[in-house]
Chain A
């Protein structure tokens, strides 16, 4: 950017403008300088005009009372807090619905067949004491893919419910009026 022309007398002009004494209390030498210095001439005209305008405008300005602005800010803050609190809840509800649908699909696709097979192959009720199953049967049961997927789906649902409660609790805490250092 090109260097702006400057004049060492600018501050003398501004000092008088600030106390509303330009050009009344300017000495003849300063007035003569301003008459021939374009930088100071512009400064004197513009600063005095804007300063006068500013003074009049501030005197005529009509602003609401501080308590009105404070009250509106409080209402706005509560509204923002509520909006922010509702945001994770909404996200969580959408996520929970998606996870529930996926979990049910997984359970139905892989777990459903396994449950039907198991039900069909259940041992008949007998009065005699059954012999304990062999270790190999327990291992086969544990590693069957149907059971694994059912467990995964159940676990996902449980985690979703827990997370939903946790986020809801955070949201509740956020919407409660804080009692911080500046709280009233």
Chain B
């Protein structure tokens, strides 16, 4: 059936039904599976950390991989591909903030963590909770910088490319974010031990 003979409203349905074969992406399914298995968890955690919403992180994960598959930049190796994927993810979060999505972005729900320090089973969990709460009080860019630098071990050059700042600025931005988080953690510590 040809789309020229069909109403425009039916074009989408026709294409979805007729295109039985897979749409060509820049990766085949096996290569994608390998790349996804190596990156999906860290990307999801990164998105979750930036958005503070696990459901939004789920949606953005799908969208980030879709855009990654559709784009055709010259990516030489795994490191470039990873960087590009994180760049897409960061832009998606940023675009979401600009467009003021229906759901609130950048509000930390931390729905998978206990709500009070008294419920923490041990000191590690208690400390994790404090770090989570302190991170949630930082700005999106600060969170992204700290997460990329210390949770993922990204270099300053990689961070600059992903977050969209000048490489020369990363050191000072990271320093300020670190300073802020350290002081928030100190405050939390004082609150816990009056």
A54 to B182, alpha carbons, bound, how many Å?
17
A12 adjacent to chain B (CB < 8 Å): no
Which chain A positions have C-beta within 8 A of B23? 74, 77-78, 81, 177-178
Report the separation of the CA atoms of residues A63 and B124 in the bound assembly, to the nearest whole angstrom: 25
- A46 touching B12 by the CB < 8 A rule? no
Check B49 against A57 for contact (C-beta < 8 Å): yes
Which chain B residues lie closer than 8 Å to A57 at the CB level? 45, 48-49, 151
Given contacts A46-B182, A77-B25, contact A175 B3 (CB under 8 A): yes
Q: Identify whether the interface residues of B are mostly helix, strand, loop, or mixed.
A: helix
The contact of B4 among A69, A72, A172, by CB within 8 Å, is A172
Cβ-neighbour of A81 out of B15, B22, B176 (below 8 A) = B15
A180 near B: Cβ within 8 Å? Answer: yes
Which B residues touch A55, using CB under 8 A? 151
Within 8 A of B (CB), among A55-91: 55-58, 60-61, 63-64, 66-67, 69-70, 72-83, 85-86, 89-90
- B124's closest neighbor in chain A, by CB? A52
Asked whether, in the complex, the Cβ of B150 is within 8 Å of the Cβ of A50, the reply is: yes
A168 contacts partner chain B, Cβ-Cβ < 8 Å: yes
Provide the bound-state CA to CA distance between A124 and B124, in Å.
110
Give A38 Cβ to nearest chain B Cβ, in Å: 9
Rounded to whole angstroms, the CA-CA distance of A81 and B146 in the bound complex is: 38
CA distance A155 to B25 in the complex (A): 42
| A-chain residues with CB within 8 Å of residue B18 when the two chains form the complex | 175
Chain A, interface size: which category? 35 or more
A78–B18 Cα gap in the complex (Å)? Answer: 10
Whole-angstrom distance between the Cβ of B69 and the nearest chain A Cβ: 5
A-side binding surface: helix, strand, loop or mixed? helix
Please report the C-alpha to C-alpha distance between residue A75 and residue B172 in the assembled complex, in whole angstroms: 43
Contact of B151 among A50, A76, A179 (CB under 8 A): A50
Whether the Cβ atoms of A70 and B24 lie closer than 8 Å is no
A165 & B4 in contact (Cβ 8 Å cutoff): yes
On chain B, the residues within 8 Å of A181 by CB distance are 24
Q: With A57-B45, A172-B4 known to touch, is A52 a contact of B26 (CB < 8 Å)?
A: no
Which residues in window 56-79 of B have CB below 8 A to A?
Answer: 58, 61-62, 65-66, 69-70
Contact of A50 among B4, B147, B171 (CB under 8 A): B147
Q: Is the CB of B22 within 8 A of A82?
A: no
Taken together as a complex, chains A and B put the C-alpha atoms of A173 and B49 apart, in Å, by: 42
Whether the Cβ atoms of A184 and B66 lie closer than 8 Å is no
Q: Which residues from chain B contact A66 at a C-beta distance below 8 Å?
A: 32-33, 36-37, 40
CB distance from B110 to the nearest CB of A (A): 11
Are A82 and B153 in contact (CB-based, < 8 A)? no
Give chain A nearest CB distance to B147 CB in angstroms: 7
Complex: how many Å from CA A130 to CA B29? 79
> Does B187 make an interface contact (CB < 8 A)?
no
A66-B40, A165-B4, A172-B4 known; A49-B16 Cβ under 8 A: no
CA distance A67 to B13 in the complex (A): 23
Residue among A46, A67, A80, A168 with the highest chain B CB neighbour number at 10 A: A46
Residues in A with CB closer than 8 Å to B128 are: 52-53, 56
A-B contacts, 8 of them at CB < 8 A, read A47-B149, A54-B147, A57-B45, A61-B41, A63-B41, A75-B16, A83-B12, A89-B4
For the complex of A and B, 3 pairs with smallest distance between CB atoms: A54-B151, A168-B4, A82-B15
